[in-house]
Each structure stands twice: as structure tokens, then as C-alpha cells.
Amino acid sequence: MAARKTDAGSEPSGETLTQLYRDMLLIRRFEEKAGQLYGMGLIGGYCHLYIGQEAVAVGLESVAEPGDRRITSYRSHGLMLACGMDPKRILAEMTGREDGYSGGKGGSMHMFSSEHQFYGGHGIVGAQVPIGAGLSFADRYRGTDRVTFCYFGDGAASQGQVYESFNMAARWSLPVVFVIENNQYDTTPRKVSDVPPPDLCTRGESFGIPGEVVDGMDVLAVRKAGRKAVARCRAGRGPSILEARTYRYRGHSMSDPAKYRTREEMTRVKEERDAIELVRDRLLAGGHADEEDLKLIDRDIKAVVNEAAEFARQSPEPGLDMLLQDVHAAPSAGR
């Protein structure tokens, strides 16, 4: 993405700020469209939207280098878009079409792109964490300077396999950034952040993994913390934990009306902390854009998203002959 490798060390230029704005707005508009298509019955199965959390994936992707890897939970569309995957193929997958990233057989939670070093999309809470540690182990073993961004939720942060992964990552100084997206809810009415200890980023302390809380609604703050964590990995100093304090605007999935929280709480976050509005204000205040420029950006992005939706609708459903394809590995020669 254009924000990458520009002025990552200083106050960003108008160009970088605009690119960050575009990248976040693409996720927002894409997810809104996904919500509509779901409502129309065009998306089957689960669908977990990333609306509200855009600054986390976009901020971290803005400091990633080509070849770096990423892995996340089922709440995956935002990260896929942020790392440059094609909105047309993502939406085609979500609608179960042949041109989707998994040939229409994976759906919202199960996409993968070796080209973009995107390793899923995982439905089992916390399952991606040991896999992410494994990816970074491979890079350490091969002696590359690649970094793995391993995302999981505040709920997932209490899974046992997370701590096995912390242990191994610390033991072998693996180049992995554990990103806890603390959106304050899992699937239950309680706020996860009410559970002690209050700072999830301290959960690596007993393994010697440093952790930091970052304002996950401020893309520049995420970028800054991400840069530090990445530098640590590339210097061979091992893993770190970033706890991004963010907020999920929608329910857990499309079938969750999120009745466990008040409208006032949501309105307050939207009015006071919205990640996209924050950058919008910075662009206007810094004289980098005017209202007209921002309208044009929104129009461009809506066009990209509408085109993706049209593409998905036109793409055929996979034929019955695809049913058993890619299900079993081909037997290797001589066995």
C-alpha cells in the first residue's frame, strides 16, 4: 500500500495521511457493503465485520515490508484489504463464488493468499496464535528478517494455546508481533476489559515478552507502536505484545444484535474516537485536503466496492465437480 515505507519515522506527510485515510475508508465501505449483501441473503454462514477497528490493521500494515506475514481470527476482511488483497475476490469468496480466494468453498472466515502472506482467517478462537508463532519460527530458522503479525481478540487472550505460543516465541526469540485487538467484547455481555489484569499487554511478562497498550482508534499511534515492535523483531530481539484498545461497532457477527451494550456507549465512541474521523480532522486541520477532496475519495472507494459486489454477483457458484477438489492432499509418488 502507498503508506508503506514512506515517512514512517516522523510526523507523516499529507500523502501518507491521505493513504491511511483511504485504506481505512475502504475497509469501512467494504464492510458496510458486506452487511448489505448479508441482509439480502447473498452471504451464507458466519460474517464478522471489522467496522470500528480499521486503524489497527491499517496502522500495522503501513509499517510492514514485502514478505512479512500476517494471520488473524475470523474477523479477517479488514486485514485482508489492508495487506492489499483484492476486494473483488474477497467478496466473491464471501458470496460463495468460484472466483473467491478459496474457490467459494471457504466463505468469510476461511481465506488465504500466499501471494500476500496472509495465512487466514481462523474460526477456532486462538487457533491462529500457535500457527503465527510457527510462521515466525520458520523465518527464524531460515535466517530471514521477516516479521509475522499475529492478531487475536481480547477474548482469545485467555486461551491456553496463546501461552504455549508465548513460551516458545520467547524461548526462541521469534520475530512475531502479537497483536491483541481489545475491542472490549467477546460473545458475552460482560466487558472483557473488566477482567483482571486490566492490561492484557502484561500477559507476556512472565515469559519476558514486553507489552504495550496502544490507542487502537488512532492509526498514527498504532503505526508508531508497530514500528517499534517490528524493529525489535528485525534486530533479532524477539516477540512483543501490542494491546490495541479499539471498539467493535457491530455485534460479534451478523446474527448478534449486541443488546448487551447501550446505544449511548456506541454513540460516544463514534463521536469521540472514530478512527476515520480522527484522520479526516487531521487532514482538514493540516490543510492536506478540503471537504471536496474527501468527497471524491469517498466516491472513488464506493465505486471500488460496488464494482467488487458486482463482480461477486456475476461470478458463478462452484460446480459440483469442485466439491471434493482440494479436500485431500494428492498422494505423493512412491507411497
Ligand X SMILES: Cc1ncc(C[n+]2csc(CCOP(=O)(O)OP(=O)(O)O)c2C)c(N)n1
- Torsion angle of C-alpha atoms 221, 125, 35, 300, degrees rounded to 10: 40
- In angstroms, what is the minimal distance from the CB of 159 to ligand X? 7
Q: How many residues sit in the footprint of Mg ion (CB under 5 A)?
A: 5
CA distance 149 to 161: 17
Task: Report the relative pairing of strands 176-182 and 69-71 from DSSP bridges.
Answer: unpaired
Site for Mg ion in 145-164 (CB under 5 A): 153-155
CA distance 90 to 287: 35
Residue with C-alpha cell 475508508? 25
The torsion angles phi and psi of 214, rounded to 5 degrees, stand at: -130, 145
**Which residue's CB is nearer to ligand X, number 92 or number 217?**
217
Residue 233: alpha-carbon gap to chain centroid: 20
Here's the x/- map for ligand X, 151-170, by CB under 6 A: it reads as: --xxxx--------------
Residue with C-alpha cell 441473503? 41
93 binds ligand X per the rule CB under 6 A? no
Q: 125: left (phi > 0), else alpha (psi -120 to 50), else beta? A: beta
Write the DSSP symbol of residue 180.
Answer: E
With CB cut-offs between 5 and 8 Å by kind, which of Mg ion, ligand X, none does residue 124 bind? ligand X
Q: Where are the alpha helices (DSSP H) in 2-69?
A: 14-39, 54-61
- In angstroms, what is the minimal distance from the CB of 149 to ligand X? 15
**Binding-site member from 38, 151, 185, 247 for ligand X (CB under 6 A):** 185
CA distance 110 to 267: 32
Site for ligand X in 113-132 (CB under 6 A): 123-125
With CB cut-offs between 5 and 8 Å by kind, which of ligand X, Mg ion, none does residue 123 bind? ligand X
Residue 58: alpha-carbon gap to chain centroid: 8
With CB cut-offs between 5 and 8 Å by kind, which of ligand X, Mg ion, none does residue 36 bind? none
- In angstroms, what is the minimal distance from the CB of 192 to ligand X? 6
**Which residue's CB is nearer to ligand X, number 75 or number 110?**
75
Site for ligand X in 225-254 (CB under 6 A): 248, 252
**Which residue's CB is nearer to ligand X, number 117 or number 183?**
183
The contact set with Mg ion (CB under 5 A) reads 153-155, 183, 186
Q: List residues binding ligand X (CB under 6 A).
A: 73, 75, 123-125, 153-156, 183, 185-187, 192, 248, 252
